[in-house]
């Protein structure tokens, strides 16, 4: 099963301990293919990157600053994050069909992205974490 995990928090590394890391590690141990998408904020000075570590695909998407920034940048960044994630997922995972999508709150940020992915795979299961 291909599992996509989308978060606005920092990257979820499966070797760390925490609610999301533990859940991703369990999926990985059960033999599922994991795809984790997270923001790389502008202040980090890094481009969008795709890495594979221990069989887990990590897609860090370059975004505006979303946390600990002024209200204008946070607002614009929040509006842009969905199309940025959508574009990156299309580009880097274009041949992947997801069976399960997990995403952290707030879900209001990703409605079009989830709708697009759901239309691509009708049997898709969605779970809000």
Share of the chain above pLDDT 70, in %: 87
Ordered domains of the chain (ranges, CATH): 2-128 (3.40.50.2000)
Please provide the average confidence, as pLDDT, over all residues in the chain.
Answer: 87
Token match 């059960």: residue? 30
Residue 78's contacts (CB-CB under 8 Å, 6 or more residues apart) are: 66, 109
pLDDT reported for residue 125:
61
Entry pTM:
0.81
Work out the pLDDT band at 10, boundaries 50, 70, 90.
Answer: confident
Distance CA 70, CA 28 (A): 37
């Amino acid at each position: 099963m291909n599992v996509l995990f989308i978060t606005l928090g920092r990257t979820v590394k499966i070797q760390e301990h925490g609610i999301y890391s533990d859940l991703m590690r369990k999926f990985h141990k059960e033999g599922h293919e994991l795809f984790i998408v997270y923001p790389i904020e502008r202040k980090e000075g890094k481009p969008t990157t795709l890495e594979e570590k221990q069989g887990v695909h990590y897609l860090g998407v370059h975004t505006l600053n979303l946390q600990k920034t002024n209200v204008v940048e946070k607002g614009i960044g929040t509006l842009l994050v969905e199309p940025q994630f959508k574009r990156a997922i299309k580009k880097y995972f274009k041949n992947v069909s997801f069976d399960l999508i997990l995403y952290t709150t707030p879900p209001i940020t990703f409605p079009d992205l989830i709708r697009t992915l759901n239309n691509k795979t009708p049997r898709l299961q969605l779970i809000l974490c």
